[in-house]
Amino acid sequence: MHSFEIAALDRGLEKALNNKVDRKTKPLGALGQLERIAVQIGLIQQSLTPRLNNPQMLVFAGDHGAAKAGVSAYPQDVTWQMVENFLAGGAAINVFARQNGLGLSVVDAGVAHDFGDERDGLIDLKIAPGTANYLEQPAMSAAQCAQAIEQGAGVVLGLAVAGCNVVGFGEMGIGNTASASLLTHCLTSTPLAECIGRGTGLDDAGLARKEALLAQALARYRAAGGSDDAFSVLAEFGGFEIATMVGAMLAAAEARMVLLIDGFIVGAAALVASKLAPEMLDYCVFCHRSAEAGHAAQLRTMRAEPLLDLGLRLGEGTGAALAYPLLLAATNFLAEMASFESAGVSDKT
């Protein structure tokens, strides 16, 4: 598997960045989390005047073998139908990306559908038409998991060459909240029931069925001697879209990009990536607090404080796209807002 060299942030500039923030024409701390984000982006870019260039959203799509067993309220065909919706520009993520000037590409990591020849906006990295059913066997082989990570890294390296220094992560895959719940349980030691939510809208009976199926999958893995090693858990329960996203995140951190982390499923990929390379968290901005049950466990484990709390649970990267203007606000106030000295404003006595 690709070995990633991710450096922890050099904090040598931190004092100067904090001083620059504090000397702006405002009371100390008055811009709240924007101040924290401004300093973080400054440290990532090692600059007192950081800039966000050529921002891109990547939506990773894949199907899950377990979806056919009933872990989702929607049929599996919705995955490819939504990919077509993304390509046609009709989904929520398209609306928010357009609104906020974000480029958007869809990565087919393993959708159970043939999209035909080259399609504008679609990156074909299909490993197989969906993972195996983890209720019966590992979702993917170790080789497939490593391939997905490698291919995800390649996509982001291409963006970096094109001058992108901020990338948002989104996903699409019927059944992927179930996958994310299993990953979250194994990597945070949170009780499985606290990691499972209604996903795309299960009723009480559907939720109970989902809980029983995931407990069954976990029991099979444990009986086979399954460990809580991040790569092993990812291969066992992950989706191709999640594994490909892990590689993309690690490569983005290696390239010193700003990573916009969406909600629960993207959070599961970030959780795996952070177990493989803890330094990658330095480069992550957690964009929103998902209404999905397991997201709280992810945020606790990664010690993350999300920017938005809007009750979102759509996925697609919508929370990341909605948070992007706040990052722009952070870099812009740092660059453009007057200081007490330059404005001739009296400081507090």
Residues involved in catalysis: 316
Give the integer Cα–Cα distance in Å for 101 and 145: 33
* Burial class of 217 by CB neighbour count within 10 A (0 to 12, 13 to 18, 19+): buried
**Distance between CA atoms of 336 and 61, rounded to whole angstroms?**
39
Give the chain's largest Cα–Cα span: 70
Residues 6+ apart with CB under 8 A from 5: 254
d(CA 169, CA 200): 19
Could you please report the per-residue DSSP string of 214-242? HHHHHHHHHHTT----HHHHHHHH--HHH
User: What is the rounded radius of gyration, in angstroms, for the C-alpha atoms of the chain?
Assistant: 20
Collapsed DSSP state (helix, strand, coil) of residue 286: strand
Name the strand (E) or helix (H) holding 176.
helix 176-188
> How would you write 51-114 as a 3-class SS string?
CCCCCEEEEEEECCHHHHHCCCCCCCHHHHHHHHHHHHCCCHHHHHHHHCCCEEEEEEEECCCC
Q: Taking the chain, what is the end-to-end CA distance rounded to the nearest angstrom?
A: 58
